[in-house]
Amino acid sequence: MLSKGPSKELSGGLIDLADVRGRLPGRHIDWFGSVNSTMTIAAQLARDGCPGGTIVGAEGQLAGVGRHGHVWHSEVGAGLYMSIVLRLPPHPATPARGMPVAMLALGLAVQEAIGEIAKLAPDLRWPNDVLLNGKKCAGILAQIEGDAIIAGIGINVKQSIFPAAISDLATSLRIEGAPHVRREDLLIAVVEAVDRCCRILTERGPHAIREMFTRSSTYTCGRRVRVEQKDRVIEGVTCGLDESGFLIVREDNGKETTILAGGVRPA
C-alpha cells in the first residue's frame, strides 16, 4: 500500500511497518515520516470514502493538534501519533449528543493498551486525558467528518524530557518506568482496544461505556476540580456522568453544572 500525502512513507522507518501490517491483516495503514497533522490526512481519506478502521500515522508532526486549540508536542520517533477513521453503526440508545461517549470509549481503549503493553496503570481524566502520576502521557481528540469519527491519539512513549512549557503537565511511558515499550506493540494494542471498546459502544450501548469509565477514572466521582469555561471558572466536586457522558460538577452552593467542554483540573 503506497502512502499518499505530504511526505513519503519511510522505507524501513523507525516503526517496523511490516510487523504492524502483518499483525493487522487487511487494515489500510498509511504511515508517514513527518506531516503537519495526521488528523488532516485522515479527514481527507474519510471524505474520499476510506474503510472504517483506516489508520494514518506519522513518526513526527510539525503541527500536531491538541484539544482546546493546543499544539500536541510530537517529537520524531518518540511517540505514537495516529488517527483512526471510525465508522460506527449507531446504537439505538446513543444520545443525540453522542460524541462524548465515543470520547470516553477511546480513553478507555488507550488506558487498557498502556496497561497491557507498559504494565502501568494510568488514570483517566474526563473526557479522556490519560494520566500517570497526575501528568498526561496520552491525549485523544475526536473530530466528526461526515458520517465518520476521526480519532486522534497521541501517546508519549520514549520522551525523556519535554519543553519547559509543558514539562509540569506531560510525561512519557519511559519516564514513568516503562523504557522498553515497542511502539509497534503499543500500536497494535491500541487498535485492538479501540475496536473492542467501539464494539462495546455499538453492541451494548453507551451505558456500558459510561459504567466502565466511571470505574476506570478517579475523576468521575468525588473529586474536587476546577473547570475553565469560556466565561468563568467552575470549582466543585465531580458527581458522575449524565446520560450523554458529560461530567457533572456540584459547586459549593449545591448547584450542579454539566460540563460540556473545558479543561478539568484538580482543584
C-alpha cell at 167: 514539562
Q: Which of 53, 64, 100, 107 binds ligand BTN (CB under 6 A)?
A: 64
How many whole angstroms separate alpha carbon 26 and alpha carbon 122?
A: 31
185, 52, 65: which is closest to 115 by C-alpha? 185
Q: Which of 15, 29, 50, 65 binds ligand BTN (CB under 6 A)?
A: 65
Rule CB under 6 A: say whether 172 interacts with ligand BTN. no
User: Is the Cβ of residue 143 or residue 257 nearer to ligand BTN in the bound state?
Assistant: 143
Rule CB under 6 A: say whether 262 interacts with ligand BTN. no
Rule CB under 6 A: say whether 72 interacts with ligand BTN. yes
Rule CB under 6 A: say whether 67 interacts with ligand BTN. yes
Q: Which of 139, 206, 236, 245 binds ligand BTN (CB under 6 A)?
A: 139
Rule CB under 6 A: say whether 162 interacts with ligand BTN. no
Which range binds ligand BTN by CB under 6 A, 21-29, 80-88, 107-115, 207-215?
Answer: 80-88
How many whole angstroms separate alpha carbon 73 and alpha carbon 54?
A: 23
How many whole angstroms separate alpha carbon 129 and alpha carbon 111?
A: 9
How many whole angstroms separate alpha carbon 205 and alpha carbon 173?
A: 31
Rule CB under 6 A: say whether 81 interacts with ligand BTN. yes
User: Is the Cβ of residue 70 or residue 255 nearer to ligand BTN in the bound state?
Assistant: 70
C-alpha cell at 45: 481519506
Contacts 24+ apart (CB under 8 A), 45-51: 45/85, 46/85, 46/145, 46/146, 46/148, 46/150, 47/145, 47/146, 50/85, 51/85, 51/87
Q: Which of 15, 20, 29, 39 binds ligand BTN (CB under 6 A)?
A: 39
**Residue number, nearest CB to ligand BTN:** 139
Q: Which residue has the cell 478517579?
A: 218
> Is 1 strand, coil or helix?
coil
Q: How far is the CB of 44 from ligand BTN (least distance, A)?
A: 13
Q: β-strand 29-35 against 55-61: which pairing, if any?
A: parallel
- Sign, CA torsion 163/167/173/176: positive
Q: How far is the CB of 130 from ligand BTN (least distance, A)?
A: 9
User: Is the Cβ of residue 37 or residue 217 nearer to ligand BTN in the bound state?
Assistant: 37
Rule CB under 6 A: say whether 106 interacts with ligand BTN. no
Q: How far is the CB of 80 from ligand BTN (least distance, A)?
A: 8
Binding-site ranges for ligand BTN (CB under 6 A): 37-39, 61, 64-67, 70, 72, 81-83, 129, 139-141, 152-154
